[in-house]
Amino acid sequence: MGVFDQKDFLGCCGSTKFAKEMVLSGPFSNYQQAVEAARDIWFNKVDVNGWLEAFAAHPKIGESPSHSQKTKSSSSAQWSEGEQSTALASATDSSFQELIEWNARYLQKFGIVFLIFASGRTTLEILAEMKKRYVNRPIVELEIAAQEQMKITELRLSKLFSLQKDASSEAKTDNATDIVNKAGEDRISVIGGHLTSEASTGKPSQATTRTRPPITTHVLDVAQGSPAAGIEVQLEIWEGNEPPSAFTQSHTGHWILQGTSMTDKDGRSGQLISMVDNLNAGIYCISFNTGKYNPAGFFPYVSIVFEVRESQKLEHFHVPLLLSPFSFSTYRGS
């Protein structure tokens, strides 16, 4: 059983809101359950200010954590150094100097440190990614940084569970009679989310329940640089023997409505689909009433069609919309 306090979770992610919500959501029976809760909290409950607080807890790539960062979380500082070890070991004088210059350039444009899942990456790989992302608009880069923070958080949660497992093992060695805790310790011994097939009673365990709907979205108004509130959203699934296509003359199927919602002040929609463990495979369409949101814009509505394959039924699909009056973009988030 993963029982951790707020300081433990601050080491994984520097957002105070995130750490408090994780404590309230716990304890967690295993690593995978903690990750599911962390994703839900980070993307659905922590606002932009909380994201910025978490970003500020990271040192620049190639830079040692500051005294203030060590004070906030000594484990975070230690983990940051370990995650950047490959980059530091692979740096030459010239590449390290270039990294310093690009760190400063990135910070000046976006107002945040360059955030990337650095574990195992060389200095040249990190530099290439920084240059690639430098051309992004700030609102786009904010979303990418949030995705990278989640990757870092998941890695650190695994370390947290691993440390607890090691501590439990030492306690067992010191006190051989403490055998009653073995079942709980076994359940967290495999880091990476593999669930045990049987509980201590010998009955099959239940699959991990989702902590958020399997399909979610939010809308960012790129022109305003802020979340887009009050946009109508609907989700549909295709029913038919053949997949829909804009390039065929006729269809032998139709769209079935799954749910509708409205984006809130953070640009996030409400629940569009039932909280099922196994998402139905198929073709989905998520549509946004952009014409009502911005009558002077170019798009009366925006529809994004995507496919969920049989092998992806247990996954989560986050489909954000980055909107401006005359363009839009999207991608699959976590």
Active site (catalytic) residues: 58
- Is 218 one of the annotated binding-site residues? yes
Contact criterion met (CB below 8 Å) for 36 and 208: yes
- Between CA 84 and CA 76 the distance in angstroms is 12
Supply the DSSP string of 126-154, one letter for each residue. Answer: HHHHHHHHHTS-HHHHHHHHHHHHHHHHH
Amino acid letter at 292? K
- Between CA 27 and CA 25 the distance in angstroms is 7
User: What pairs with residue 200 in β-bridges?
Assistant: none
DSSP helix/strand/coil, 308 = strand
DSSP helix/strand/coil, 270 = coil
- Is 268 one of the annotated binding-site residues? yes
| Dihedral angle, C-alpha 58, 64, 70, 74, nearest 10 ° | 90
- Between CA 308 and CA 282 the distance in angstroms is 5
Give whole-number Cα distances, 34 to 5, 40, 80, 192, 225, in Å.
Answer: 13, 10, 21, 11, 32
Give whole-number Cα distances, 1 to 14, 28, 156, 189, in Å.
Answer: 23, 6, 17, 10
- Is 254 one of the annotated binding-site residues? no
Instruction: List the binding residues.
Output: 218, 268, 331
Instruction: List the binding residues for substrate.
Output: 218, 268, 331
